Amino acid sequence: MARLTSVRPYLFKDPRFCYTLSAWTPHLAVGTVYLCVFREPQRTVNSIMRVVRQERYLRDLSLSVEAACRYWEAAYRSVLHQRSAIGGEWLFMHYDEILEGRAVRILEDRLDASADRDMLRADLKRSAMLGEVTQSAQRLYQELVELAKSKYPLP
């Protein structure tokens, strides 16, 4: 961790940070900005279920839609817990706002850096908004949306 954070600037993306970020914080620079990218729980659940169906290494995994929804909720509740424990500056941004480029300017301004806009491709948005999720997941999603709105306006 110390070796990876010694080269600056740095950007790390790893969904495991939902649970492991606190182990990294002693190695992060003062003033590190934490970015939480989220999307609707239905889309995440559909994506998880598609991966479980398609990937050979997961063929023996038995995962229900309900369990995938609980995973989504647990991951983002953990993010909110780590935000409270770690402190610092956190930006919450909806996946679509980044993919469609609307939030990129905000990131560029805040980080004083230029983004590689070639990575913003519409074909990366592959999961549908099908299915139902729990009320608690929907409430958590709304909480994330409100956190995003507190830093920048969503349409």
Give the pTM.
0.85
Residue 42 has a CB neighbour count (10 Å cut-off) of 21
Joined together, the tokens standing for residue 116 give 């590689």
Q: Which residue has the higher pLDDT, 114 or 142?
A: 142
- Tell me which amino acid residue 58 is: L
- Label residue 143 by pLDDT band (50, 70, 90): very high
> Which pLDDT value is given to residue 127?
66
Cα distance between residue 7 and residue 134, in whole Å: 42
Tell me which residue has tokens 């950007």.
11
Complete domains list, the chain, with CATH: 33-149 (3.40.50.300)
Q: What is the mean pLDDT of residues 87-113?
A: 85
DSSP-assigned letter for residue 21? H
Range in 56-65, 129-138, 141-150 the model is least confident about: 129-138
